[in-house]
Structure formats: C-alpha cells, structure tokens
Structure 1
Amino acid sequence: MLVVDLDGELLVPLRAVEEVLLCLGLWEYEERQGPAADVEPLRLPAPLADRVALDAVQRLLTALAPTQSLGAGRGRLFAPDGCYEHAPLTALTMPAADIDLLSATAAALGHPALDADIAEVVDAHAGQLGDTYRWAGRAGLVSLLARLAGLLDLAATYDTRLLIARLRARPPGTDCTLSEAEEAAYARTADRMNRMWALGSGIDRYLY
C-alpha cells in the first residue's frame, strides 16, 4: 500500500483512540479483579474487549509513525521537470486484519447503542482532535478512524503498483524524479486519497 506523509495528521486519531482504549482496558481489568456487587459489570463490545482493538491500533501506530514528517533526509519526490515537489509517499505493508479491526473499532465507538459511560470516555479523549481538525468529539473521532481505515485499505491499481515499484527501486534517502507516466499515476492516486481521507479537499499534491 501507499501511505501519504501528512506531517503526522494521520497519527492524531490513532493516538486519541489509543488513549480511549487504554482507559477502557484498565476499566475492564479492574472490574474483572474486583467487580462491585451493586454495579452492572462493564461489558465492552467486540473488538473493544480484551485489548483486541488496542493491540491493533498500537501496531498501526508503530507501522505508520515512520511514514510521517519525513523531511528531506528521507528523499524527496519531484515532478518530471523538477520544478515542484510532491507530498511524500511510502510503500508499506500492513496486515489487512489490523485495518479491518480499525474499521470495526470505528463502528463500535460510533454505534448509537454504545454504553453511555463508554461514550463519555470517548468524548473526553476525542477533545484533543480540536487542535488539528475543525471538529472534535466522538462523532469526529469515529469519522476520522473510518476514513483512515478506508485510506489504508485503498484498492491496489496499476497506478499504485507503478508508484510502489518506483519507490522501492530507489536507494534509501535519495531524491526521485517521476516519469510522465508516474506523474499521471501520482495525480490519480492523490485524487483517490483526497476523496477518501479529506472528502476531496485536503491532500496537497505539491510542496512549493
């Protein structure tokens, strides 16, 4: 797959949901150790229970963190005439199961029947999204997680395969000037990423 470098923007919802899942995991653990006799026990829905979602999110964070805020030292991506620089892409392999779990986590956290106490935890930690995005809260976090899962699950095409082959062929840390065919493939791929992640209005193709 191809991951676009958005200067860490992709990591923000993952870190927010990691905090949510850490809290829920601790809550679940404490209730199992000493459940209160007069309180309904916490029952987390799948995949939130038993750290399943948390482990998947942490694996995704570990895989994605090195693809963000790369800087020129990791090699730049230029248009054929060299007059402008593209937003960097990284060719990456991640388990499809973890992406599926991310999508399922978004669905579970956004479910209308989600336990009110769990929803309160989500809202409390999702507030940090306001520093990066126009909206925060549970709905904002769920939307971002679902779109990130879609971005990571973007179907492979001739364009993505062409770009992946070029990126993997260049020596680490070196600049890369795209051919005309690769430039066209980049433009089409960036448009697809735009529609999935930024709803058509967020991923810049060029760094001036």
Structure 2
Amino acid sequence: MLVVDLDGEPLAPLRALEEILLCLGTWEDDDRRDPGTDTEPLRLPPPLADRIALAAVQQLLSALTPTQSRGPGCGRLLAPDGRYEHAPMTALTLPAADIDLLSATAAALGHPRLDADIADVVDAHAEPLAGGCRPAGRTDLVSLLARLAGLLDLAHTDDTRLLTARLRATPPGTDCVLSDAEEAAHARTADRMNHIWAHGSGIDRYLY
C-alpha cells in the first residue's frame, strides 16, 4: 500500500489506542490473577480481549513510524522536471489482518453499549488529540482510527500499482521524479486519500 508522510498525524491516534489497550490488558491480567468475589470480572469484547488488538496496533506502529516526519536525506517525491515537491510517499507491505483488526477495534470502542469504565479510559486517552476549541473524546478517536484503517485499506487501482512500482524501483535516499503519467496517477490517488483522511483537505502536494 501507499503511505503518505503526514508529519506524524496517523501515529497520534495509534499511540493513544496502544495506551488504551495496554491499560485494558493490565485490567484483564489483574482480574485473572486475583478475581474479586464481590465484583464482576472485566469482560472485554473482541478483538480487545487477550491483547489481540494490542499486538496488531504495535505492529502497525512499528511499520508506520519510519514513514512519518521523514528527514531531508530520505529522498524527495518530485513532479515532472522537478517543478515542485509532493508530500513523500512510501510503498509499504502491511498484514491485511492487522488492518482488519484496527477497523474492528475502532468499531468495538465506538459501540454505543461499550462498558462505561472502558469508555472512560478511551475518553481520557483521546483528550490530548484535541486540535480545536472543544476537548476530544471517544467519538473523535474512533473516527480517526476508522479513517486510518480506510486509508491503509485503500483499494488497489492501476494508479496505485503504477506509483508503487515507481517508488519501489527508486533506490533509498534518492529523489523520485514522476513522469507525466505517474503525476496524473499521483493526483488521483492523493484525491482518494484526501476524502478518507482529511475530508478533502489538501495533502496531495506542497510547494517550495
């Protein structure tokens, strides 16, 4: 798949989710070691239970982190003739199962009947993601996670296959100058990504 360098934006909700799942995993372990006689044990819905979602999230974080906030020595993605520079893209292979688990985790955390204690943990970890005047909450985090899953599960097209082949053929650390056909493919692919991640806001290119 193609991953755009969004200056770390996709990593923030994943890191918040990792903290949530670590907390839930600790609760689950504590209940198993020392089940209370006067309280119901914590019952996590799939895929939150047994750290299944946590393993997938940690694998995604490990794979995606090097694609974000890339330094100047990593090679640029340039329009034909080097007229301007696009936001860097990386051709990355990710397990489909991890992306499916991310989507399922977002759905589980967004369920209207989610346990109140779990919802409180999600709200607490979502709050730092606020970018506007109002505090972020569970709905905001779930939306970000669902959009990220959609971005990582972008359907393959002739455009994405053309760009993937071009990026993989470019030696690491060197500039990749797109042809006219690849530039057109990039524009169409970036537009699809915009609609998923940024609701149409421009991530397709930036100019120097």
What TM-score bracket applies, with the shorter chain setting the length? Answer: over 0.9
Q: Any conservation in 2 of the 1:87–1:207 contact (CA below 8 Å)?
A: no
Distance 2:198 2:185 in 1: 19
Q: Deviations over 1:97-153 (max 9, x none)?
A: 000000000000000000000000100111111259976210000000000000000
TM-score (norm 1): 0.97
TM-score (norm 2): 0.97
Written as runs of structure 1 = structure 2, the 5 A alignment for 1:166-177 is: 166-177=166-177
1:129 aligned residue? 129
1:194–1:24 CA distance, 2 compared to 1 (3 A)? same
Q: CA deviation at 1:172?
A: 0.9
Distance 1:152 1:134 in 2: 28
Q: CA deviation at 1:83?
A: 2.1
1:188 aligned residue? 188
1:39 aligned residue? 39
Q: CA deviation at 1:71?
A: 2.1
Letter in 1 for 2:74: R
| Gapped regions of structure 2 (runs ≥ 5) | none
Distance 2:12 2:189 in 1: 23
Letter in 2 for 1:83: R
Q: CA deviation at 1:95?
A: 0.4
1:64–1:132 CA distance, 2 compared to 1 (3 A)? farther
2:153 aligned residue? 153
Letter in 2 for 1:10: P
Q: Any conservation in 2 of the 1:9–1:132 contact (CA below 8 Å)?
A: no
Q: Which shifted more, 69-78 or 53-62?
A: 69-78
Distance 1:179 1:133 in 2: 43
Q: Deviations over 1:12-41 (max 9, x none)?
A: 000000000000000010011001111111
2:24 aligned residue? 24
1:116 aligned residue? 116
Distance 1:131 1:142 in 2: 15
1:77–1:145 CA distance, 2 compared to 1 (3 A)? same
Backbone CA RMSD of aligned residues: 1.4
Q: Which shifted more, 18-27 or 134-143?
A: 134-143
1:97 aligned residue? 97
Written as runs of structure 1 = structure 2, the 5 A alignment for 1:64-83 is: 64-83=64-83
Distance 2:28 2:159 in 1: 45
Letter in 2 for 1:6: L
Q: Any conservation in 1 of the 2:147–2:197 contact (CA below 8 Å)?
A: yes
1:135–1:197 CA distance, 2 compared to 1 (3 A)? farther
Distance 2:151 2:126 in 1: 20
Q: CA deviation at 1:204?
A: 4.1
| Gapped regions of structure 1 (runs ≥ 5) | none
Distance 1:138 1:155 in 2: 27
